Amino acid sequence: MTTFTLRTLRPDDASALLTFELDNRAWFERHIDARAGDFYSLDGVREHIAQLLQGHAQGHAHPCLIVDQHGVLMGRANLKGIGRQSAEVGYRIGQQHAGRGLATAALRHLITLARTQWRLARLTAHAIDGNAASIRVLERCGFTRGMGVADIAVVDGVVLDGHEFVLELASGTR
């Protein structure tokens, strides 16, 4: 079993993050909206990191990385849109690491952060209908399927629908 750590994103993660995103670009784009082309450069990733860390400093986001014992980036997990009582979760696992429980571990880490550090009462997530792996992770972590969301993503030029998933946490007091 691979040993891994979940930690907060840092400015010096730009090269590793660019490599991860490039290596997994086609894999991710089979499941979620494609990123803009200018993201896929060292400057684009540095700008992305700066925006995420600014959101973290302002209390609106908590970007995390999943790294193995050698420092290799295996995935990402984020709390975003953090408000007084709620936030949205998102995660992406590299193709060669999929199916190993990393998404579940990452989501459980985000749930812990939401409860203990951010003191939130509710988490939401969105998944494309038919993305069985992501839906299984959400349900395994206690999320329940909520309302349908039309036009949630465009994958290979096809507009897809999805659902919101919700997890009610202990009372938030942020």
The tens digit of pLDDT for each residue in 59-118 reads 999 999 999 999 899 999 999 999 989 999 999 999 999 888 999 999 999 999 999 999
Instruction: Give the whole-angstrom CA distance, residue 80 versus residue 60.
Output: 6
What is the per-residue pLDDT for 15?
A: 95
CA 40, 41, 42, 43 dihedral sign is negative
Cβ(155)–Cβ(168) below 8 Å = no
Mean of the per-residue pLDDT values of the chain: 89
Q: Give pLDDT, residue 165.
A: 96
Name the pTM for this structure. Answer: 0.87
Which are the contacts of 49, defined by CB distance < 8 A and separation ≥ 6? Answer: 9, 11, 13, 14, 17, 63
| pLDDT tens-place string over residues 119-147 | 999 999 998 888 888 899 999 999 999 88
Strand partners of residue 86:
122
The alpha-carbon radius of gyration of the chain (Å, integer) is: 16
Long-range contacts of 159-163 (CB under 8 A, 24+ apart): 160/128, 160/129, 160/130, 161/128, 161/129, 162/126, 162/127, 162/128, 162/129, 162/131, 163/126, 163/127, 163/129
Determine whether 78 is exposed, middle or buried from the number of CB atoms within 10 Å of its CB (0-12, 13-18, 19+): buried
3-state SS of 11-38?
A: HHHHHHHHHHHHHCHHHHHCCCCCCCHH
Confidence at 2, pLDDT banded by 50, 70, 90 = low
